[in-house]
Amino acid sequence: MSITVKLQTSVKALSNWGTESDPDQSYHTGNTDPRGFGHIGLMVPDVYAACQRFQELGVDFVKKPDDGRMKGLAFIKDPDGYWIEIFNAHSV
């Protein structure tokens, strides 16, 4: 299911304070088995310009805008390995 919302939106990042040094603390991105949460998407005015900037910053790509059959959208990884879809309104 994909939902595009054209309202002011915020993303709330939570931290489980105190777990940074807990050897038993773990997390799972959901992008490998067992599957679960997939990814969030960020709408940008220009996917190619955004991806150029991500590349300059050394961001890891799952999919670049012209890879595969679906052109004009990309997937990057955040520092924890979660996937982030980069798209614009014309590509959905």
**CATH number, domain 39-91:** 3.10.180.10
pLDDT value at position 46? 92
State residue 39's pLDDT score.
Answer: 77
pLDDT tens digits, one per residue of 58-79: 999 999 999 999 899 999 998 8
Question: How confident is residue 92, by pLDDT bands cut at 50, 70 and 90?
Answer: low
Q: Are strands 61-63 and 39-43 parallel, antiparallel or unpaired?
A: unpaired
Q: Which of 65, 85, 86, 87 is catalytic?
A: 85
Q: Does 85 qualify as catalytic in the annotation?
A: yes
Q: What is the pLDDT of residues 7-20, one digit of tens each?
A: 566 666 666 777 77
Kindly list the domain boundaries of the chain, sorted by start residue: 39-91
How many Cα atoms occupy the beta-carbon half-sphere of 22 within 13 Å? 9
Question: What are the pLDDT digits (tens) for 20-62?
Answer: 788 887 776 677 787 766 678 888 999 999 999 999 999 999 9
Higher pLDDT: 3 or 21? It is 21
